[in-house]
Structure 1
Amino acid sequence: MNIEQNTTSQNSITNLETSLSVVNPELVTLLYIQIREHFQSGIQSGGYPVHSRLPSERQLAERFKVSRMTVT
């Protein structure tokens, strides 16, 4: 992967994470299911490129404003 592809990959990940950064606790759907659906749609849309690293549990918990146990 060259630098331009890596930058594009990072930008698409950042855009995807920013657009879906907070789960909605008022929805009937359980929080962990909302998070799972976020990752499923991100992977399917190419927002998470193949072989890219996912954020840590702590980072995910902060981003989604949930406990770390919810994202594990």
Structure 2
Amino acid sequence: MLAKVRTLSPDKFPDKAREFCSSDQKVAKIRAALTSIVDLLHYRLKRPVRILAITGLRAEEARIAAKC
């Protein structure tokens, strides 16, 4: 497998210009799912519903992002 990876062009890998895992791919999808859940619970419970969603970065990602 490493031999195959070595043959790939560098533009096949994520960097700041080509983010592999962007906010839209994570947070927006989570928010859409949670909105549906909140709407359903609000309808069934007949009261406001609140959800606390927390996202974060692994330490390695934060160090790399700080260098860019």
TM-score norm. by structure 1 comes to 0.35
Question: Relative contact order (C-alpha < 8 Å, sep 6+): which is higher?
Answer: 1
Larger Rg, first or second structure (1 or 2): 2
TM-score, normalised with respect to structure 2: 0.36
